[in-house]
Amino acid sequence: MPQVNPDILGWARETAGLSPEDAVKKLGIRDARGMAAVDRLAALENGEASPTRAMLSRMARKYRRPLLTFYLAQPSRRGDWGKDFRAPMADRSREDEAVLNALVRDVQVRQGLLREAMLDDDEDLASLSFVASVTTDTPVAQVVTSIRATLGLRLEDYRAARDPDGAFRLLRSHSEQAGVFVLVLGNLGSYHTDLGVGVFRGFALADDYAPFVVVNPKDSAAAKCFTLLHELAHLWIGEPGISGGDPMDPVEVFCNRVASTFFLSDQELGAFRKPATNSIGAWAEAVTEFAGSLNVSSSMVAYRLHRKGVIGHETWRRLHRLFRRRWRDSKSRERQRQRARDGGPAYGVLVRYSLGLGLLELAARLVSTGCLTATKAGRVMGVNPRNAHLILEAA
């Protein structure tokens, strides 16, 4: 049997965001033979003792790592994820960073299982030509034209959506029809692991056959539209990325420019009319009215106006804070109304919305052809295999 590198044990615990005291509780390690529980864990991590297979299995579950991880020669490096202008540079807590990394790994596993089943189902499956079809040196207008043509989405239809929620559903549907799986996920299956938009707003995992985009459900509808387009731009250049942080990263700047141009051309932006007075309230009203008429976010309009020199830096910063505060207040009121009604939508409804019609329809077909077992279907969907058929039948 392969030997376990003890360095992996400590690394896996730390990247799971667990202190030694937290880990011994989760792993069920107790004081024994005159040694404290934390000392017994330390002995495993420094190589003085060897973990049993049962202990490794518990570590795999509690640290959210595949069992194979513990047999690696050395710890794997975390991906260099991108960032986004819409959130200030976030100092993620160790716990949030661990959950975010676990979420990315979880979606990578789902993507791998789905990709394998797709290729088993159709050996001649054509790869998606748009993935990695451009570089950051490609003119933004050319990338925008390519995305619009691939999605088959007319901007006037997007503008005509009833509200930002309808606009997101439309954009998501066209993305799925183009072959992109769009998941709306913000935790690891429990509200205890909820991640706010200050930790991440979305991420993309490029693949020639099964590209995935994940959007944080806690964001506003208009912001989710921007996130989805931003992550689509990541697929077009073939690079992964997580939104939330450094505004100077060149890849993130490029993806932001693509998304911003997709939703709002310079010509349309030129139609904006300055308010009669220079107060923050007047600017906020003018920006909000203009953004609402186009089904785009007020923060994006304010940012574009700032880049154009129409709005000064301090005014933009104050508007950004104001729009964030208004959004948080509206989310709080929405949660209160939901609790007053019936406690929220049913579990199956939430799961189907989270996964999207594109993934559900494909999973149902792959299960019917035998290319995806119930166990793997449950893994792809992030649900218990016993519930997989019920959710697929209702899709």
Model confidence pLDDT, tens digit, residues 30-44: 998 889 999 999 999
Q: Where are the domains of the chain?
A: 6-71, 94-341, 347-394
From the list 232, 251, 236, 240, the residue with the least C-alpha distance to 131 is 236
Domain 6-71 has what CATH class? mainly alpha
Range 252-269 average pLDDT: 92
Write the CA distances from 211 to 65, 196, 223, 284, integer angstroms.
22, 23, 21, 37
Q: How far apart are CA 77 and CA 208, in angstroms?
A: 23
E strands, 125-255, are 181-184, 202-205, 212-215, 241-242
Handedness of CA 321, 323, 326, 332 (dihedral sign): negative
Angle between helices 357-368 and 374-381 in degrees, nearest 10: 170
Range 328-336 average pLDDT: 75
Q: Which two tokens stand for residue 305?
A: 């106006």
The structure's pTM equals 0.79
Which of 21-25, 50-54, 330-334 comes out lowest in average pLDDT? 330-334
> Is 201 a residue whose pLDDT tops 60?
yes
From the list 351, 356, 392, the residue with the least C-alpha distance to 374 is 392
E strands, the chain, are 181-184, 202-205, 212-215, 241-242
Residue 209's pLDDT band (cuts 50, 70, 90): very high
> Is 239 a residue whose pLDDT tops 90?
no
Q: Are 125 and 208 in contact (CB under 8 A)?
A: no
> What local confidence, expressed as pLDDT, does residue 3 receive?
79
Q: How far apart are CA 130 and CA 47, in angstroms?
A: 48
